[in-house]
Chains A and B, each alone.
Chain A
Amino acid sequence: MSLPATTTSGSDALTRPQDAVSLEIPYDLPEKPVVTIEAHSSWVPLNIRDLWASRELLFFLIWRDIKVRYKQTVLGAAWALIQPLGTMIIFTYFFGKLARVPSEGVPYPIFFYTGLLIWTFFSNAVNSGAHSLIGNSNLITKVYFPRLIIPSAAVGAGLLDFGIASLMLIGLLIYYHFPITLGYLMLIPLIALTTLFALGVGIWLSALNVKYRDVRYALPFLIQVWMFISPLIYPATLVPEEWRWLLALNPLTGIIESFRASLFGHQMPWSALAYSTAITLLVLVYASYTFRRMERWFAEVI
């Protein structure tokens, strides 16, 4: 059988010396197994080394999600700007103009847009995270890699839309003559916190969704309710004193208020922010533990 030249040149020569004729083994086996396969008990610790080794795959999956998202659309990534802009105009008219909802001494459009920006990122990230495992079932049943990569990529891909929508915020800040202050430095940890919180919730829901497809129906409702108990349309101060604790239970309250405080130079709500951080860490730990426990049978159930 004569073969085309491409097959004989082979990739083999690239990485190790080969001896094709005598079938000698050009490398030594390690003493310990590289991979040991056995049934695990229910408690499985995070395999950080495995995750780190798959960082390139995480990058590629994020890149794929971003690349595919606006394929075959005329307006492309502009949608990430058009959607929140449209929402802002409508909500400003109804809540700012007609209902005269107070807005902590800043113009209502920019007050609402800052909340909307965080909220849109968070809800999209949770939503795509929750559906990510099911959407990638072909990968799960055919290839091994740390499954945590999949919801993480879905959440990470949302950061691009967030970045695009932020341009509008910059425009609003300039339009309303807000000065640039040192408070802006707080934005970076706040965005990181939002991402981690979305990651925690997304990871947990994605694992749950593999077994219980109820998630698909419950989630849109949950997200809608969540939006109304977040200080998005209204400031937290509008809520009657005796109900404010309910709002404070929502970790997003602290995040959104801190976001506004650092942009508008208001007093930072440190205790609410500390609470949000604590809850975020708890959710992350619980979610990754649950995920690890459940991922063993993903391929069988999905």
Chain B
Amino acid sequence: MLNKALCILLFVFCLLCSVSFANDIVVPFTSVPNQPYFQSAQLMVDSVENNTIILTLKSDQNGTARLFWANHYDPQFNQPKSLWFFVKSGIHDYYFNVPSQNPNWIGWTKALLIYPEFDPAGLEIKYAKIVPSSLSTNIASGWQEFWGPNGRVVVGSTINVTPASTIFGQPINIYAYWLTGIFFLLILTWQRNYLRAGKLTIYFSLGVWILLGLSTYHNNFGILKDNFDKYFGKSIEIKRAIAYGKDYYDFLVFVRNKLPKKPVSFSILSSRYAPELQSRIFLVPHILVDPAKDNPEYLLIFNPEPKQLELTKKYCPYAKLNQNAYILTRTK
């Protein structure tokens, strides 16, 4: 009798599983030729019904990646419609309950794109699907989101602000506040002593703080590992080459060797982000000036944008490192 009941239960369970698998939408990805990302085939997925993406990735290194999507409101892949996540070395499953992390998961989803922020040759997308959420996928998604790169990896803005790790799109601090509040109410109800409840609540909040602090220590350990691999045991010149980018550093060394010894004024034209930051300090005592206003004696050209070259009309060649990296000097 018991065996019969068990068999029926097992049958119902398998049936439910197969029904839920029928809802799964398998997403084939392909590597885009000459581009460092992977894009899915065209899709037509109702984002309200199917809100969880599950990826199985094989990677030969640790790193970060972005998952973009396009929908019928906005068919472009762009940052507002993206999630940032860690990729671990080896084969792993990644769960994203997308609307809990990004409100732009709306309308009909038309395509997905995965952009690894490391050498894409080492990444393989073994399997991808979009499914309705379940308790287990929600838990996995929240857990991976909490340990994700947001607030844990050093980026340009880290010097000004450190975002909190999130769970379901909400900063972890909010959960800490709620937990402390609920704890206080529970203790107050149980002990009916305001001061005793207050004392225990402070203990509790300090405990939560220590846990958050340990999470921060964990981040510091990650940063230490990165910096150790990147810089430890190297000369200051190699460290600068790593920090500035090898090509740009080589160019700055070339410029330093070619410019006159006495201080001269210079400007730099480049498509790089803020190229003057490194050139100004590296080329001291030479003086960085505005190319449009101050008529510098030398123009440094490094991978310029075509429009920037309009400023070079009054200049002639001075020294050349390569086709995209050279120095011009002012003609009289």
Whether A associates with B in a native complex is no
Identify the B interface with A (CB < 8 A): none
